[in-house]
Amino acid sequence: KNQVEQSPQSLIILEGKNCTLQCNYTVSPFSNLRWYKQDTGRGPVSLTIMTFSENTKSNGRYTATLDADTKQSSLHITASQLSDSASYICVVSANGATNKLIFGTGTLLAVQP
């Protein structure tokens, strides 16, 4: 069964600190892995997309890694800001014409001053 699991479920950090979020998946055949940020009451916004051959990708203070052998990914946030408070969702796309996405349940991050 295609699944995406994330940990931790929630996380509280102080402003300025770094954090790392984890994602494990069992999607096959694999096409790509994305990380989305979802603010409360809003739609998800894409942060990074990585294909099978990519190990790491950065977008500003966000750095995603991918290990396709162990089927694990991480999202590292550097120098957190209050505006980083949101749900971070790991999403995997199965290989196929429909580009259907399989979502994890997200990590709820709270950045406190």
Partner 1 sequence: NAGVMQNPRHLVRRRGQEARLRCSPMKGHSHVYWYRQLPEEGLKFMVYLQKENIIDESGMPKERFSAEFPKEGPSILRIQQVVRGDSAAYFCASRAGNEQFFGPGTRLTVL
Q: Which chain residues interact with partner 1 by CB under 8 A?
A: 4, 32, 41-46, 49, 89, 93, 97-106
**Distance between CA atoms of 72 and 45, rounded to whole angstroms?**
21
Report the residue number, 2 or 78, with the smaller CB distance to partner 1. Answer: 2
* Token pair for 28: 């096959």
Q: Which residues contact 26 (CB under 8 A, 6 or more apart)?
A: 1, 2, 3, 4, 71
**Distance between CA atoms of 30 and 95, rounded to whole angstroms?**
5
User: Could you tell me the smallest distance in angstroms from the CB atom of residue 101 to partner 1?
Assistant: 6
Report the residue number, 7 or 18, with the smaller CB distance to partner 1. Answer: 7
User: Could you tell me the smallest distance in angstroms from the CB atom of residue 104 to partner 1?
Assistant: 6
User: Could you tell me the smallest distance in angstroms from the CB atom of residue 42 to partner 1?
Assistant: 6
